[in-house]
Structure 1
Amino acid sequence: MAIKITGTGSYIPTSIEKNENFHQHQFLNTDGSTLTHPNEVIIQKFKAITGIDERRYAYDHLTSSDLGFFAAEKAIEDANINREELDYIIVAHNFGDVKHNTIQSDILPCLASRIKHSLRIKNPKCVAYDILFGCPGWVEGVIQANAFIKAGLAKKCLVIGTETLSRVVDKHDRDSMIYSDGAGATIVEATDGDGGILAHETASFTYDEAYYLFFGNSNNKELCPDTRYIKMDGRKIYEFALSNVPLAMKDCLDKSGVNIKDIKKIFIHQANEKMDEAILKRFYKLYDEEIPEGIMPMSIQELGNSSVATIPTLYDLVINDKIKDQHVNKGDVVMFASVGAGMHINAIVYKY
């Protein structure tokens, strides 16, 4: 028996927010003071570090559960399964449904229940639940699905990562330009043959690192002090990721028994282009190997950072040949790796 991803789907909003759209924003320091550089320079530096040219925002009438439903429909169709046979629907997100122009997160009922309702699944034994695991949430959902199937508790699982980060950003914070909206979904099921999930690794660093990403006040001190926005200590996250993600990836690869030379693609969370490149460089240095050309597909330049949605969206695009010069062929070994709020890290070695 092999546990494989048999169907994929993604929903990428069509509303494009380009870097130049931020030229008129009032960016402030954390103490509320004005930044010394003009916005054009700030955005130039932002592009050089993150690689982001543009990002996608959901239309006003849509929520995270809507985006997740759209992606799920595609994944179910791609896998050609009867949705009533799903044993689990696992939905990774961070903020629930945040309606446009509101400040309150809505997770009652959970997003998985909402998506199951939208899918019109009648089977009560199809268990729907959410996981809050920061940006690595979709990867962890796949790991949980794998565990359910291995334990004989499931045969087919739907794992979704969906987010509308544009609803929880502080427009006076430069970091707001990183975040975007989107959803990716996958069907994970037991199949005949070999391959599929070969190994996985997860770690939670909370002793000193738990609050590197947090909910905090706007940089604009004139705004309501009771309203919170997504905030991060970018420098600490960068240093943490470079120190710990390559090691977790190595642990995972070593458990799989796969030689690093046999990895064809690495799907890493689209957090920051320079950071992802540095993680990859350190990972290959652990094996004294050179980085193969084209091994790390990237979507952050056009799609931004949609948290839990970045990896399943990127994977769906690549296997459907929608990213130039990026392909995955039958029998290829790939790796998924992510890091995010918590601070959590995880990885999967997978044979396509």
Structure 2
Amino acid sequence: MKRYSRITGTGSYLPPRRLSNHDMVALLAARGIETSDEWIVERTGIRARHYADDGVNASDLALAACQQALQAAGRQVGDIDLIIVATSTPDMVFPSTAAILQHKLTEAALAQGQPGAAGGAAFDVQAVCSGFIYALTVADAMIRAGAAQRALVVGAEVFSRLLDFNDRTTCVLFGDGAGAVVLEAVEHDGQGPGVLASDIHADGRHSGILCVPGTVSGGQVLGDPLLKMDGQAVFKLAVGLLEDAARAALAKAGKQDADIDWLIPHQANIRIMQSTARKLKLPMDKVVVTVHEHGNTSAASIPLALDHAVRQGQVRPGQLLMLEGVGGGFTWGAVLLRF
């Protein structure tokens, strides 16, 4: 018998404010920038996205997603001894969004007469749109090593605050949201549920093609604090790297393309998702797609899509899932797991 980590509950949260493409067209028109619903859908597959209201932070979105995941897993906050938050839009420079989330979870639990999560490890992972894959890989390794028993692994983003609304090629793409999973230790002979293999990478030579080139120094913003992207360069890199990571994870687990029941990719662009599915010889009806309603929610997109598929009855126990993503850095990776 070996120790594995398995997902026992999923949760997600989208802020209530929904902007359709028509809303976005009107928003940009007020700035003298022309675009259209057809232009956005044809190039991205996106029809809507959600934005958080002022004063609502990544930890607030994460809190709602985590509470939903805990309920699905039949666990309380006090059962959790590890929290990892993947985000590129933290609440503040420090402490980590994970530490802030731990406090909010604990306060909510104590208010209901339940134990909190204070004392367990809590930290952030920053790998942009690959962040959830990185965080899940780290949590899996810690659980396998015995350093944790039950973890909350979260992707939470308020990307709307990084967008340049004078650049129609980027501002239409991104949205806000959060997704979370409860990951627990389990022992079996390798045939049961759990993370089977992961494969993560980075290549900093491509850091300039997707970035927010700003920082804070002496109380001032240095550089440009808005998102910059070379869309063509990202597309060309993404498709090949996603295939490579997926095949590496399959090889580590001794599985084949045909064994995959569901591909749950980072929801960045429908064209990238379609190209990746073709390379893995998977029909699109085996791909979980939420990009049309969520937009690109960066580190939140994979757990958001996973939770959607679970609650819609698409993903069922015993199925083999391939989760994969690419992001600024340039980062990429995949996780193969049995649900």
When normalised by structure 1's length, the TM-score is: 0.85
Distance 1:150 1:278, change over 3 A: same
Structure 1 position 188 matched with structure 2 position 183: yes
> Distance in 1 between the 2:280 and 2:259 partners?
14
Asked if the contact 2:264–2:322 (Cα under 8 Å) also holds between the matched residues in 1, the reply is yes
Asked if the contact 1:182–1:306 (Cα under 8 Å) also holds between the matched residues in 2, the reply is yes
Partner of 1:100: none
Q: Counterparts in 2 of 1:241-320, with a 5 A limit?
A: 241-284=238-281, 291-320=282-311
Deviation of residue 63 (structure 1)? 1.1
Distance 1:191 1:304, change over 3 A: same
> Distance in 1 between the 2:131 and 2:40 partners?
26
Give the match's secondary structure for 2:128.
coil
Distance 1:225 1:147, change over 3 A: closer
Partner of 1:337: 324
Q: Root-mean-square deviation (CA), in Å?
A: 2.2
> Distance in 2 between the 1:328 and 1:305 partners?
21
* Greater CA drift, 303-312 or 75-84: 75-84
The one-letter code matched in structure 2 to 1:201 is D
> Distance in 2 between the 1:138 and 1:70 partners?
17
> Distance in 1 between the 2:207 and 2:242 partners?
16
The one-letter code matched in structure 1 to 2:237 is F
> Distance in 2 between the 1:179 and 1:263 partners?
28
Q: Comparing both structures, which one devotes a greater share of its residues to helix?
A: 2
Partner of 2:201: 203
Distance 1:123 1:171, change over 3 A: closer
> What percent of counterpart residues are identical?
29
Q: Counterparts in 2 of 1:49-128, with a 5 A limit?
A: 49-97=43-91, 106-120=92-106, 122-128=116-122
Deviation of residue 241 (structure 1)? 0.8
Give the match's secondary structure for 1:210.
helix
Partner of 2:174: 179
Distance 1:225 1:25, change over 3 A: farther
The count of corresponding residues between Structure 1 and Structure 2 is 319
Deviation of residue 167 (structure 1)? 1.2
Deviation of residue 216 (structure 1)? 4.8
> Distance in 1 between the 2:157 and 2:199 partners?
24
When normalised by structure 2's length, the TM-score is: 0.88
> Distance in 1 between the 2:89 and 2:5 partners?
30
> Distance in 1 between the 2:316 and 2:90 partners?
35
Deviation of residue 179 (structure 1)? 0.5
Deviation of residue 124 (structure 1)? 4.3
**1:302-335: CA deviation from partner (whole Å, max 9, x where unpaired):** 11111011110110111111xxxx6122211110
Give the match's secondary structure for 2:243.
helix
Deviation of residue 122 (structure 1)? 4.5
**1:121-163: CA deviation from partner (whole Å, max 9, x where unpaired):** 6454301111111111111111111100111111111111000
Q: Counterparts in 2 of 1:108-187, with a 5 A limit?
A: 108-120=94-106, 122-174=116-168, 175-187=170-182
Distance 1:123 1:271, change over 3 A: closer
Give the match's secondary structure for 1:81.
coil
Give unpaired runs (5+ residues) of structure 2: 107-114, 215-220
Asked if the contact 1:50–1:272 (Cα under 8 Å) also holds between the matched residues in 2, the reply is yes
Deviation of residue 282 (structure 1)? 2.0
Give the match's secondary structure for 2:296.
coil
> Distance in 1 between the 2:316 and 2:153 partners?
22
> Distance in 2 between the 1:227 and 1:351 partners?
42
The one-letter code matched in structure 1 to 2:97 is L
Asked if the contact 1:72–1:184 (Cα under 8 Å) also holds between the matched residues in 2, the reply is yes
Asked if the contact 1:11–1:184 (Cα under 8 Å) also holds between the matched residues in 2, the reply is yes
**1:215-263: CA deviation from partner (whole Å, max 9, x where unpaired):** 259xxxxxx9955201111010000112222111111111111222121
Asked if the contact 2:4–2:140 (Cα under 8 Å) also holds between the matched residues in 1, the reply is no
Asked if the contact 1:247–1:283 (Cα under 8 Å) also holds between the matched residues in 2, the reply is no
> Distance in 1 between the 2:225 and 2:55 partners?
22
The one-letter code matched in structure 2 to 1:343 is F
The one-letter code matched in structure 2 to 1:39 is T
Structure 1 position 21 matched with structure 2 position 23: yes
Asked if the contact 1:166–1:181 (Cα under 8 Å) also holds between the matched residues in 2, the reply is yes
Partner of 2:35: 39
Deviation of residue 9 (structure 1)? 0.8
